[in-house]
Structure 1
Amino acid sequence: MNAAIAQYDRILGCLLGGAIGDALGYQVEFDRWDAIKDRFGPDGVTEMRRNKISDDTQMTLFTVEGLLLAPPGGSVDVVVEQVRLAYLRWLETQEALMPPMASEGLAAQPWLYERRAPGRACITGLQEGARPGVNPNSKGCGTVMRSAPFGLYFGPDEAFAFAERCSALTHGHPTAGASAGAFAMIVAHLMLGATPQRAVSETLLHLRGGIDRSETADALQQAYELAGKVPPGPNTCAPLGEGWIAEEALAIAVYCLLGTDDVRKGLTAAVSHSGDSDSTGAILGNLYGAAYGHAALPKEWASQVEGREVVVALAKLMAAEA
Structure 2
Amino acid sequence: MATNNRDSPDNGKPWLELQFRSGNMVTRIHELDKELTYPPQEKVQKDILDRVWGSIQGLAMGDALGAHVEFRPHHFLEKNPVEDLHSGGTWGLNKGEFTDDTSMALCLANSLVARRDFIPYDQLVRYKWWFRHGYMSSTGTCFDIGAATKRSLIEFEHRQQAFMKKTNIPKDKIDFVLSPDLLKKFNVDCSESDAAGNGALMRLAPVPLFFYRYPEYAVEFSGVSGRTTHGDQIAYDACRYYGALIVAALQGSSFEDLLDKNFYENHLPWFNNKPLHKEIIKVARGSYKKHGGYKEGIRGKGYIVQSLEAALWAFWSSKDSFEKGALAAVNLGDDTDTTAAIYGQLAGAYYGYRKLPDKWMQHMYGQKFIRCLSEWIIYEGQHWSPDSSETLNVPSIQSQSSAMSSSSITDKQNYPEHASGGSSQTRAKSGASHSSIGSTASSRDMERQISTPSGSAQFDNASASSKIQQPGSKHTTHYSTTSSKDHDTSMSSNSAQSPQIKSEPGYFLQRLQTRSGVDEWLMSLGTEYKQYVPCFGEHLIDGFWLLNYVNKESLIKYEVSNEEHRKKILDGIQLLVDECKRLRSSNGN
TM-score tier (shorter): 0.7 to 0.9
The answer (yes or no) to whether the contact 1:220–1:250 under 8 Å persists in 2 is no
Question: Structure 2 matches for 1:121-200, cutoff 5 A?
Answer: 121-129=148-156, 131-132=188-189, 134-155=191-212, 156-200=215-259
Q: Provide the TM-score with structure 2 as the length reference.
A: 0.46
Please give the per-residue CA displacement for 1:183-209, whole angstroms capped at 9, x wherever unaligned.
Answer: 111100000000133124364334796
Q: Take 1:266 and 1:184, find their aligned partners in 2: how far apart are those partners?
A: 19
Distance, in Å, in 2 between the alignment partners of 1:242 and 1:310 is: 29
> 1:36-73 CA distances to partner (integer Å, 9 max, x unpaired)?
244xx3xx2111112221100001111111111233xx
Task: Name the counterpart of 2:342.
Answer: 283
CA contact (8 A) 1:219 1:240 kept: no
| Residue-by-residue CA offset, 1:57-106 (whole Å, 9 max, x unaligned) | 001111111111233xx5xxxx2x2x432332232232236xxxxxxxxx
Query: Aligned partner of 2:363: which letter?
Result: Q
Contact 1:30–1:276 (CA under 8 A) maintained in structure 2:
yes
Where does the alignment leave 5 or more consecutive residues of structure 1 unmatched? 98-106
2-side partners of 1:110 and 1:224: how far apart? 32
- Describe the shift of the 1:316–1:258 C-alpha distance in structure 2 as closer, same or farther (beyond 3 A): same
Structure 1 position 211, deviation (Å): 5.2
Q: After the TM superposition, which residues 1-322 of structure 1 pair with which residues of structure 2 at under 5 Å, given as runs?
A: 6-38=47-79, 41=80, 44-50=81-87, 51-71=96-116, 79=118, 81=119, 83-96=120-133, 107=135, 111=138, 113-129=140-156, 131-132=188-189, 134-155=191-212, 156-201=215-260, 203-205=263-265, 206=268, 210=274, 213-226=277-290, 229-230=291-292, 235=294, 239-259=297-317, 260-321=319-380, 322=382
Shift in CA distance, 157/187, structure 1 to aligned 2, threshold 3 Å:
same
Cα distance change, pair 64–15 in 1 and its aligned pair in 2 (3 A): same
**Shift of residue 245, structure 1, vs aligned partner:** 1.2
CA–CA separation in structure 2 for the residues paired with 1:192 and 1:292 = 12
Distance 1:166 1:267 in 2: 25
Q: How far apart in 2 are the matches of 1:37 and 1:168?
A: 35
What is the alpha-carbon distance in structure 2 between the residues aligned to residue 211 and residue 10 of structure 1? 28
> Aligned partners of 1:302 and 1:251: how far apart in 2?
26
Contact 1:140 1:176 in 2 (8 A): yes
Distance 2:289 2:85 in 1: 30
Shift in Å, 1:210: 4.6
d(CA) in 1 for partners of 2:298, 2:368: 35
Which structure: greater helix fraction?
1
State the Cα distance separating 1:287 from its structure 2 match.
1.1
Q: SS of 1:113's equivalent?
A: coil
In 1, Cα distance between the equivalents of 2:137 and 2:144?
17
Kindly indicate whether the alpha-carbon contact (under 8 Å) linking 1:243 and 1:275 is maintained by their aligned counterparts in 2: yes
Match of 1:100 in 2: none
Q: Note if contact 1:145-1:279 (Cα within 8 Å) is conserved in structure 2.
A: yes
- In the TM superposition, residue 308 of structure 1 has moved relative to its aligned partner by 1.7
SS in 2 for 1:249: helix
Separation in 2, partners of 1:5, 1:272: 33
Note if contact 2:74-2:333 (Cα within 8 Å) is conserved in structure 1: yes
What corresponds to 2:490 in structure 1? none
CA distance in 2, matches of 1:301, 1:319: 25
The answer for unaligned runs of 5 or more in structure 2 is 1-44, 88-95, 157-186, 383-589
Contact 1:119 1:142 in 2 (8 A): yes
Letter of the structure 2 residue corresponding to residue 85 of structure 1? D
Name the amino acid aligned to 2:298: L
In 1, Cα distance between equivalents of 2:137 and 2:152: 24
Q: RMSD in angstroms over aligned alpha carbons?
A: 2.4
| Residues 103 and 138, structure 2, Cα contact 8 Å, conserved in 1 | no
2:340 and 2:125 mapped to 1: Cα distance?
25
Matching residue's letter, 2:285:
Q
Sort the Cα spacing of 1:110 and 1:34 in 2 relative to 1 into closer, same or farther, 3 A: closer
Change (3 A) 1:283 1:157: same
Q: 1:203 to 1:149 in 2, by over 3 A?
A: farther
Distance 1:110 1:176, change over 3 A: closer
Shift in alpha-carbon separation, 1:5–1:46, aligned structure 2, 3 A: farther
- The change in CA–CA distance for 1:160 and 1:112 in structure 2 (over 3 A counts) is farther
TM-aligned CA deviation for residue 117 of structure 1: 1.6
Q: Which has the higher contact order (CA 8 A, sep 6+)?
A: 1
**1:89-135 Cα deviation digits (max 9, x unpaired):** 232232236xxxxxxxxx4x574532232111111112212722621
**Aligned equivalents of 2:236, 2:374: Cα separation in 1:** 25
Structure 1 letter corresponding to 2:150: I
CA contact (8 A) 1:185 1:203 kept: no
TM superposition score normalised by structure 1: 0.82
